[in-house]
Amino acid sequence: MPRPARLDKKRASIFRRLFSFFSSGKVFFPLFLLFTFFLVQSFFRIRERSGQLDLFEDEVSALRDKVGEKLGDLEYRGSSEFVYKEALEQLGYTRPGEVIVVLPDFEKEKEKTDNGSQEAEENQSSQNPAEPVPNWKKWRILFFGS
């Protein structure tokens, strides 16, 4: 059943009126400006988020490197080499046939000489209380103990 030509002309005229209304500057230009504003705003939002994404990717790669280092350290601490080193240094254990050489403690001897030099300074200061000790003498006493 064909439509009457009158309705088609009526619809066509309605569409022409709507198109002319929307394409006129009164509505089209503000809509265009609004669309452009939202487009620019979304562009800058995407740009900002991509910058944040780059920062997060850098942070993730740094954390992955750190995890790799920690895993390497954990693997080393589980090795027999580390266990031997710790047993040697901390507990003084050795393997059969090895000998540990114990050297005299130089720090204790240095403290003894320091105490002796302090006593010598006290004796000198009690003899000449008004005269300060020159810096070169202080350095000599510090390094050589006399």
Does residue 129 lie within any of the structural domains? yes
For residue 134, give the DSSP letter: P
Percent of the chain's residues with pLDDT above 70: 80
- Confidence (pLDDT) at 16: 81
User: Is residue 126 included in any domain, yes or no?
Assistant: yes
Lowest model confidence (mean pLDDT) among 54-63, 68-77, 100-109, 112-121? 112-121
Contacts of residue 142, Cβ cutoff 8 Å, sequence gap at least 6: 117
144 in any annotated domain: yes
Q: Which helix (H) or strand (E) holds 72?
A: helix 25-77
Q: Is residue 34 part of a domain?
A: no
Q: What is the mean pLDDT of residues 31-59?
A: 94
Q: Is residue 72 part of a domain?
A: no
Express each pLDDT in 97-132 by its tens digit.
Answer: 887 777 777 777 777 776 666 655 555 555 555 678
Q: What is the spatial distance between Cα 109 and Cα 115, in angstroms, rounded to a whole number?
A: 10
Mean pLDDT of the chain: 81
* Domain interval for residue 142: 105-146
pLDDT tens digit sequence for 8-34: 777 778 878 777 776 766 777 888 889
pLDDT at 53 over 60: yes
pTM (predicted TM-score): 0.41
In a domain, 130, yes or no: yes
What pLDDT was estimated at residue 134? 85
pLDDT-derived band at 57, boundaries 50, 70, 90: very high
Cα 143 from Cα 137, distance rounded (Å): 10
Does residue 123 belong to any structural domain of this protein? yes
How many domains does the structure of the chain reveal? 1
- The answer to the question of residue 37 being in a domain is no
